[in-house]
Amino acid sequence: MQFVDANVLLYAASTEPSEQPKALVARELLGRDDLALSVQVLQEFYVQATRATKPERLSHEQASLLVEAFLRFPTQETTVALMKAGLATRERFQISYWDATVIEAARALGCDVVLSEDLNDGQDYHGVRVVNPFRGL
């Protein structure tokens, strides 16, 4: 199983012409059955997709429906244990807390790969490796 970061969800919902190559990749990825995500990823998706300053933003209803659709994937809830693991990973690897909790949510779900454009492609975070599905686009 592979963990999906919020940027994959955002590209999948994008209608911006410059993002269409990435949107195609993201939509293809989301057609798979072996993906997982977290409540944090869904929250980030919703906030960014509906952001008032975004020219092609989604309505509350559109974004909410997509969040519901994404819940078909196994979803890691935010817990105290996840927060503590994120704090430790943030310190160990000197990455943002939010990125660290993405790594730890993936680990909690048994994922050894995080699909993300935001983290270092190929980086191994103690058994969880990042793959940028948009590399070269």
Report the 3 state secondary structure along 22-36: HHHHHHHHCCCCCEE
- Structure confidence at residue 136 (pLDDT): 87
pLDDT bin (cut points 50, 70, 90) of residue 71 is: very high
At how many degrees (to 10) do helices 6-13 and 39-49 cross? 40
Give tens-digit pLDDT for 72-82. Answer: 999 999 999 99
Mean pLDDT of the chain: 96
116 lies in which domain range?
A: 2-131
Tell me if 137 is assigned to some domain.
no
Residue 107's domain is classified under what CATH number? 3.40.50.1010
Q: Phi and psi (nearest 5°) for 71?
A: -70, 0
Whether residue 36 is predicted with pLDDT greater than 90 in this model: the reply is yes
CA distances from 90 to 6, 44, 58, 120 (A): 18, 18, 31, 14
Give tens-digit pLDDT for 100-132. Answer: 999 999 999 999 999 999 999 999 999 999 999
Question: What global pTM score does this model have?
Answer: 0.94
Tell me if 92 is assigned to some domain.
yes
| Residue whose token pair is 């994008």 | 14
Domain count, the chain: 1
